[in-house]
Every structure is written in C-alpha cells, then in structure tokens.
Amino acid sequence: DIQLTQSPSFLSASVGDRVTITCRASQGISSYLAWFQQKPGKAPNLLIYAASTLQSGVPSRFSGSGSGAEFTLTISSLQPEDFATYYCQQVNSYPITFGGGTKVEIK
Amino acid sequence: EVHLVESGGDLVQPGGSLRLSCTASGFTFSDHYMDWVRQAPGKGLEWVGRSRNKANSYTTEYAASVKGRFTISRDDSKNSLYLQMNSLKTDDTAVYYCIRPEVRGRNEQYFDHWGQGTLVTVSS
C-alpha cells in the first residue's frame, strides 16, 4: 500500500499568511494526487486534482505542485474561510489512500 | 446537479450487520464508478471501496480492513449504491460517505462529488 505522510499535522497561521503543506508518498505516484479541504461536520471538498489542476470554483489562492513522491499545497494568502483540515489523496493504485491531515488554525 | 444522499446509518452491536444506501440523482448513474469513504470520529479519511460501472462489469475493490466483511453493490435501475456491512467491529464506527468520482486525464477517478454522510456506531 502507498502511505501518504503529511506535514505538518497542525499549523497555526494568521490571515494573509502564505501557507504550505507537504505530502510525501512512500513510492512514486506520478501526478495522481488530489487535495481536499474539510470543515467540521461537512464532507471534504476537492481543491486540486492531478497534483496541480485547480478544481472548478476553487479560489486561485490555492495551488498544488509536485510529482513522483513529493507534493505541496500552497495557500498564497490565507483567508478566514480557509481555516480547516486539509488532506492529500493518491489515486495511482489500490488501495486508494489519504494522508493523515493537516489542521490549519488561527494564530 | 449531482446529488448523493446516504441513509441507513444506525447503532449496531459488535458482530452485527447493517446495510447503507446511497441514492443518486443528476447524472447517468450506470456510467459512473462509485466509492465509499469513511471517517471515524475525530479521525482522518479512509477509503472503503469502489464499484466500477456497467461498462467495467460492476467489478469491485476493497480496503484490506473491510475485505471479506463488507460488500458493495448497486442497482442502476434505482440509481442506488449499497454497502452491506457484516461482522461489524467497534473500529467500524464512522461517518460513511458515498462518492461519485469524475474521470480526469487517462482514467483517473477524482472524488469531486460527496454525499453528506451517514453515521454508523458499533457499540454494545
């Protein structure tokens, strides 16, 4: 199974900050990676797919990069509505797996 | 608009069984793969399994943690996906989400449509 390790697991930041979350895969997954945002009590929301493609309707302050085994999600200027938990997911092979999550909280 | 509604979540004793349903609308159900993902209280996301579409003979895939205990099926005539859960354990306690993924690129399925989830509690 492909393990996804996210770092950090917890992040405290201020509105306007640039935030970067890393996801490392235990083996190469090409660009078959997605990023999700989840708010309490809600289903996850797809932000980025194919490592760097912005899902329709997602603000352009979100961006993704990477390929192979190392990926990043960047929020260029953190907004109040961005405080949430973020997950990466690989769809390269079965079983599909998720990272452990990164909780972004207000400093 | 794609709409997914899960139902069937309940309190069940360890060793018991439960069947979840997901009713879909807003798209041609038989054309699409469908997935289940779960989330234990306060924990992360765990993929449970997948039903491929009619064109791929409705074949299924499962996570190791549920293989042999859970069965995914579908009834395209009812636009419905099911998750039959047997031999339930306390570790199966979670919100269960139904997902309709979207094909991007070569044939990758990205999880862009989620239901609201249904809570399964396994406890004595």
**What is the per-residue pLDDT across B7-55, written as a single tens digit (0 to 9) for each?**
999 999 999 999 999 999 999 999 999 999 999 999 999 999 999 999 9
Residue spans of beta strands (DSSP E) within A1-107: 4-7, 10-13, 19-25, 33-38, 45-49, 53-54, 62-67, 70-75, 85-90, 97-98, 102-106
pLDDT at residue A67 tops 90: yes
* Residue of B64, B97, B104 lying closest to A95 (CB–CB): B64
Fill in the DSSP letter of residue B15: T
* Residue of A1, A43, A89 lying closest to B117 (CB–CB): A43
Predicted pLDDT of residue B58: 95
* Residue of B35, B64, B105 lying closest to A50 (CB–CB): B105
Predicted pLDDT of residue A5: 98
Average confidence (pLDDT) over A58-86: 97
Tell if the CB–CB gap between B115 and A49 is shorter than 8 Å: no
Average confidence (pLDDT) over A84-104: 98
The band of A104, judged by pLDDT with boundaries at 50, 70 and 90, is: very high
Contacts of A45 in chain B (CB under 8 A): 114
CA–CA separation, B49 and B85 (whole Å): 12
pLDDT at residue A23 tops 80: yes
Tell if the CB–CB gap between A49 and B104 is shorter than 8 Å: yes
pLDDT at residue B6 tops 90: yes
pLDDT at residue B106 tops 80: no
If interface means Cβ-Cβ distance under 8 Å, which residues of chain A face chain B? 1, 32, 34, 36, 38, 43-46, 49-50, 53, 55, 87, 89, 91, 94-101
Tokens (6 digits) for A36: 């999700």
Predicted pLDDT of residue B41: 97
Average confidence (pLDDT) over A79-92: 96
pLDDT at residue A49 tops 90: yes
Tell if the CB–CB gap between A89 and B97 is shorter than 8 Å: no
Contacts of B46 in chain A (CB under 8 A): 98
CA dihedral sign, ordered A48, A56, B83, B87: positive
- Other CB atoms closer than 10 Å to residue B117's CB: what's the count? 20
- Secondary structure of residue A4 in the 3-state scheme: strand
Predicted pLDDT of residue B110: 96
The band of B105, judged by pLDDT with boundaries at 50, 70 and 90, is: confident
| Longest Cα separation, chain B | 46
Nearest to B22 by CA among B117, B89, B87, B112: B117
Tell if the CB–CB gap between A91 and B46 is shorter than 8 Å: no
CA–CA separation, B117 and A47 (whole Å): 19
Predicted pLDDT of residue B14: 98
Task: Report the alpha-carbon angle A43-A99-B97, nearest 5.
Answer: 25
The band of B104, judged by pLDDT with boundaries at 50, 70 and 90, is: confident
Dihedral, CA atoms, B16, A42, A83, A66, nearest 10 degrees?
80
Predicted pLDDT of residue B107: 80
Q: What is the CA radius of gyration of chain A?
A: 13
Q: Which chain B residue lies closest to A30 (C-alpha atoms)?
A: B108
Reported as a single tens digit per residue, the pLDDT across B47-73 is 999 999 999 999 999 999 999 999 999
